[in-house]
Structure 1
Amino acid sequence: MRKMKVAVIGLGVMGQTHARIYTEHAGVELAAVYDIYQPHARQMAEKYRTKAAGSLEELFGMEELDAVSICTSDDQHYELAMLACKHGKHVLMEKPLATDLKEAKAIVEQAKASGIKMMVGHTLRWDPRYYHARQTVASGQLGSPLHLYARRNNSYQNGLRLKGRTSVLMFLGVHDIDAIEWVTGDRIVEVYTVEVRNRLNEFNVGDAAVTTFKLASGAVGSYETSWVMPDQYYELDAKLDIVGTEGAVNINIVNQNIQRHTEGRFTYPDTMYGMEMYGRLTGIMKEELTSFILAVTEDAPLPIMVEEAYRAVQIATCMEQSLQTGLPVIVPSSID
């Protein structure tokens, strides 16, 4: 059976994770890698025993190439997605779909017109905790959801690293925006957002945003997200609580049921996203890439459609509009 041939574009932390998982999958050949910084691309090509494309034109010109993983900074997604559509290459893209709503809409339209498979890596759809919460809601065991609380707070070093190239709502918020609608099976219809600016003000971005929202069912919720957590705090602090008429479900990803005390502090090792066991990566990222591989090689259904990834960008854009106007914003019910 012919192996699926894939290339990875952008070789930061996520790009290297994609490259490693592909090389460890028996049904996949990592045909090429590309990074704008060519010495790094050549180094990674040697590490993963593949070739470093000298340009995007060279990479997309590889006729045998089936698919690409786009792992670049968010503001480059549009150009690369359009190139993939033009050349008929299937796409796995790190979230968000785009940071501009018009560009996100254009990607959706071009992906559908080209006939390629495009999946955006909203990782919570492969997180067993969020998947279980979705199953619990869908089974009716909670009754009707009444109110929700979600948060995703990241370290100051992440906010500092991005230097204002995107907002906290686009970088982190899209995760939970998508998860709230996916887990509840409901639609966010109205948002009202406020923010604080202090530590990252030099980059003209907010430190933290808090949103109240309404769902189509009448349920209400609150969402907070930040990227200014102190250096000695957890790398990521995320939570989802849903209270219904008959029950409740609570997710808290900080406590992984294992804690470690080293170098004078307690830490909670990651056991879900990129856990290495017996020399191979396992966990959420492996499951995400496996879903994409199966969609390309076996025509399996995608766990997230590109229109749903657009929806997350659309709602985040409404939250940013609320920040600008100081008023609640109605979320459109369709792609505008």
Structure 2
Amino acid sequence: MPESVDQQTTAPATDAGTRRAGLIYAVSAYVLWGFLPIYFIALAPTGAFEVVAWRIVFSLVFCAILLAITRRYRLFLALLKRPRIAFTMAAAGVLIYVNWQTYVYGTLSGQVVEASLGYFINPIVTVFLGVFFLREKLRPAQWAAVGISLVAVLVLAISAGSIPWIALTLAFSFGFYGYIKKRVGTTVDAVAGLSMETLWLLPVAVIQLLVVGATTGITFGTVSAVHTLLLIGTGVITAIPLLFFAAASRRLPLVVLGFIQYFAPIIQFLVGVLILNEAMSTARWVGFSLVWLALVILAVDAALGTRNGRRSIPELV
């Protein structure tokens, strides 16, 4: 009898502690992703191509250190020997490269608000991809959200005189990236996955550094010690949120993660508007408001339990 009483009193506390830790990990991950624009802007005068190249290199270095410390490098090497896993992660690497390059370019060219739009509409794109690739049937609320988001994109395109390609590229590259990551499931964890992706991208990074060196010139090690450390730190700020996210996903329900994921684009939007003073015309406010309305519809739909946790929440960049 005493043992059963102990189990009854400690189990809820343990469950509460697990959820509390999960919330801390999740909020930490998405807040870090939200403030990424400030970090990348601090890397000036380094251009987008050099930033992404160093991000690939130092992410791989940092992941290699983590694999060595945790003694999981044998598991990583075993995954490399599995062609299906290796080539799937190569495809993921291509998509995350497109995502990183577009995001850093958007940030350094003063388009943080549009970049945030990409991550606002990403859940809607994920729903959209589910129809075409997973043969999922949309409920009326999901169709409404997709339709409203399309109207929002049209409003933003007409008001700006051009298609918001940065937002759309981020949303679709990240959507397909999440789809590919879902295919490998739990076979590849966060560190092993990022290690494989950056390993595939290493030749791309080398080529970019050679091109930058032959044209505008490499800034690494030429500006200041702090600037050099910040460039090296791109590997850390890439991997740490991924590890936090992985820890959170093991402790929290998918619905909770679904709500917390909006922390990142909200922070990015506020950084763009309040800190970087990016212009927000009336038409732009209308477009963003329509996107937020679509997200509210999806959120209510998820809160009612109609999605049943069928779709995973992928990592941000």
TM class by shorter chain equals under 0.3
TM-score (norm 1): 0.24
Which structure dedicates a bigger proportion of its chain to strand? Answer: 1
Which structure dedicates a bigger proportion of its chain to helix? Answer: 2
TM-score (norm 2): 0.25
Higher relative contact order (CA 8 A, sep 6+): 2
